[in-house]
Amino acid sequence: MSVAIDLPAMHQSAEAASRLMRILANADRLMLLCQLTQQELCVSELESMLDIRQPTLSQQLTVLREEGLVTTRRDGKKIYYQIVPGPALAVMQVLYQQFCQAAG
């Protein structure tokens, strides 16, 4: 028994997955998201935990925010980041189990 493939839908899904993989194909962004899979963190916490300098950290957080992979919350002067539930979180949870947990 063969299953009919909705080729346009499959192509659209492949494009979305490819876009996500391009965003994740950066070591700094992966480290940021790896930490954010565990908890919401502010910029200063991320900077000290990951030893990523402020300009690079801001640049990578901007990319993640613009791509809709993280959300922000302001508490006084601090901005907290949290990973958005969805495909990126699902992928990062697997990557965390395979790579981050072993490194920690």
pLDDT tens-digit map of 44-92: 999 999 999 999 999 999 999 999 999 999 999 999 999 999 999 999 9
Predicted confidence at residue 47, as pLDDT, reads: 95
Question: Is the dihedral angle over the CA atoms 3, 7, 13, 15 positive or is it negative?
Answer: positive
Predicted confidence at residue 2, as pLDDT, reads: 76
Domains and CATH numbers, the chain: 17-103 (1.10.10.10)
3-state secondary structure of 96: helix
List 73's β-bridge partners, or say none.
80
CB atoms within 10 A of CB 56: 12
Predicted confidence at residue 4, as pLDDT, reads: 84
Q: How far apart are the first and last CA of the chain?
A: 47
Contact yes or no for 73/79 (Cβ under 8 A): yes
Q: Is the pLDDT of residue 17 over 80?
A: yes
